[in-house]
Structure 1
Amino acid sequence: MMISTFLDNKLNKQFQKVIKNIAIALFWVALWALAAQWVNSPLVLPAPLATLQGVFVLAGDFKFFVSIGSTLFRVFGGVLISVLLGYGLGLIGGLYHPFYEVMNPFVSTIRSLPVVSVIILINLWVVSGVVPLIVTFLVCFPVTWTNVVQGVRSTDPKLLQMAKIYNVDQKKIIRNIYMPSIKPYAISALMNVIGLGWKVTVTAEVLANALPSIGMNLYYTKIYLETDLLFSWTLVIVICSLIIEKVTLYMIARNNRKGAV
């Protein structure tokens, strides 16, 4: 009986959360619709329905999916490389101060450079199709590196002292003490670089003229004053970003549940 009541309460809370999110989304869509009606110019601000219709029009062309796939490849490629290298090098940087001192000027320089400057510089050296991937890596790497280093340095010194007293192997110290300390910082970095990766990739696609891509389709709609399709492509970006974020959160939660068992 108690288990049944608990499950019912949990389902009710989830249902209420879904209803609340739908209500909030409908509020902003209604506000958008009112603004579009007030402006009364699809060239300036298309209505939500016209934007949604534009998505279906775009989806009728196979190039639409090719563009999305190409952009997703660049986003995932840049983010994956930045996370893997940032995690590995950040762990080394947190453990060995001389290595941190060598890497820190490079990371600080990359972090301080404007994204536009990075895109233009990289575009001088490599083909346009690869520019977004490299730029995404360069912009996201400092975020992962910094978080992992901070995670290593925030490790409980009492645990490290205990491991030293009992002569625990260095590999076990890294796996059983440092890794759990780094985990929340690494997850925070991952969520940040996923959102940042989307913005940087699309921006780099526009400035580097990378084809095929979502960024260039945005640029073409702007050039040809197809505002409704510009909003449609923007909606596609938002939807893809939300899906990736939700899937990532689900995978992290699932991994945490497995670790707790």
Structure 2
Amino acid sequence: MMHSSISRNKKPFTTIAVVILVWQIASLFTPDIMLPGPLLTLRGISGFLQSPEFYTALWYSLIKLVIGIGIAIVIGCGAGILIGSMPKWYGYAEPIVDMMQSIPPISWLGISMIWFGLTTGPTIFIIILAATPILFINVYEGFAGIDKQLMQMGRLYQIPQKKILRHIILPSLKIPFKSGLLVAAGLGWKLTIMGEHLTLAKGLGNLLSQARMNLEMYKVFAISLLIAFLWFGIKFVLIRLLDSSPNSSSKAKELTH
């Protein structure tokens, strides 16, 4: 069993090693302006990590992501809880959700650039529009998985609706909210970079745009890899924060005391 666990843990490193090897071989037959090698890209990463400009850009990107996802959580989860408690109203909300999901972010970005100009506004706007439906649907459908016995217990003991919401409904929505938030945050992170790249607003997307316009392909690869590594860090933090909250069963026990 231990041997199997060790073998399983080696697989990601084996995959990465193979990708780097293929990348290195391909770069030997391709000009650096088209495909820089791993070592040149690594030097680009090192250069960014030693540059104050990189950390300033990272700060702007994270602020946009936090604001956009924060507003999406308030709107999406709030609407999901509201409509979930009154499912007959879902038919009125569904067309709006479908429209938000069907129109591509690039279209919303074009509209928001006219509305807000080349500022941080368009990026935050498309994050909200893309993340809100995901959170709404996950939270709404999470109501179907709420333990009906807990709800009946709450009514049996004539517990106020506010306590039922706080101690039964919200903890029961933890898993669908977690999955929805991770998907929404991942999409929001990509849209942050895309929005900055196209609007030239301050952030990592702007650094990517500058490297592209200067034909510094090794910097394009370097900043792209840094963006991926940063997402791993953001995802790790989100998972740790979400996993630290109590579950519905422990809350239900508190409810009866």
TM class by smaller structure: 0.7 to 0.9
* 2:210 pairs with one of 220, 223, 237: 220
- Deviation track 1:91-133 (CA, whole Å, cap 9, x = no partner) reads 0111123553443332221111111110011111113222111
Q: Which of 159, 166, 191 in structure 2 is aligned with 1:200? A: 191
Residue type at the aligned position of 1:149: Y
Q: Which residue of 1 aligns with 2:63?
A: 73
CA RMSD of aligned residues (A): 2.6
Q: Contact (CA 8 Å) 2:27, 2:35: kept in 1 or not?
A: yes
**Counterparts of 1:139-218 in structure 2 under 5 Å?**
139-210=130-201, 212-218=202-208
2:16 match: secondary structure: helix
- CA 1:61–1:160 in 2, change beyond 3 Å: closer, same or farther? closer
- Are 1:132 and 2:123 matched, yes or no? yes
User: Are 2:227 and 1:241 aligned?
Assistant: no
Distance 1:191 1:156 in 2: 24
Written as runs of structure 1 = structure 2, the 5 A alignment for 1:80-99 is 80-97=70-87, 99=89
State percent identity of aligned pairs: 26
Please state how far the C-alpha of 1:194 moved relative to its aligned partner. 1.5
User: In terms of mean alpha carbon deviation, does 168-177 or 191-200 score higher?
Assistant: 168-177
- Post-superposition shift, 1:232? 0.7
- Structure 1 length as normaliser, TM-score? 0.84
| One-letter amino acid matched to 1:197 | G
Q: Secondary structure at the match of 1:168?
A: coil
Specify whether residues 62 and 114 from structure 1 end up closer, same or farther in structure 2 by C-alpha distance, changes over 3 A only: same
CA–CA separation in structure 2 for the residues paired with 1:54 and 1:14: 35
Q: Secondary structure at the match of 2:245?
A: helix
Q: One-letter code of the match for 2:195? A: A
TM-score in terms of structure 2 length: 0.85
Range moving further from structure 2, 175-184 or 223-232: 175-184
Residues 157-205 of structure 1: CA distance to partner in whole angstroms, max 9, x if unpaired?
3443443344332122222332232111000011101111111111111
Is this contact kept in 2: 1:92–1:99, CA < 8 A? no
- Residue among 81, 106, 114 paired with 1:116: 106
Residue in 1 that maps onto 2:21 = 30
Does residue 254 (structure 1) correspond to residue 252 (structure 2)? The answer is: no
State the alpha-carbon separation in 2 of the partners of residues 201 and 139 from structure 1. Answer: 11
C-alpha contact (below 8 Å) 2:200/2:209 kept by paired residues? no
Q: 1:45 aligns with which of 29, 35, 42?
A: 35
Residues in 2 aligned to 1:161 and 1:52: alpha-carbon distance in whole angstroms? 59
C-alpha spacing 1:78/1:165, structure 2 compared with 1 (3 Å): same
Kept in 2: contact 1:198–1:241 (CA 8 A) = yes
Cα deviation per residue 1:189-232 (whole Å; 9 max; x = unaligned)? 1110111111111111122222x121122122222211111101
Deviation for aligned residue 1:72 = 1.2
Q: Judging changes above 3 Å, is the alpha-carbon distance between structure 1 residues 23 and 203 closer, same or farther for their aligned structure 2 residues?
A: same
Gaps of 5+ in 1: 1-8
Contiguous gaps of at least 5 residues in structure 2: 252-257
In the alignment, the residues of structure 1 paired with residue 36 and residue 138 of structure 2 have an alpha-carbon distance, to the nearest angstrom, of 41
Instruction: Please say if residues 112 and 121 of structure 2, whose CA atoms lie closer than 8 Å, have aligned partners that are also in contact.
Output: no
The one-letter amino acid of 1:146's match is I
How many residue pairs match? The answer is 249
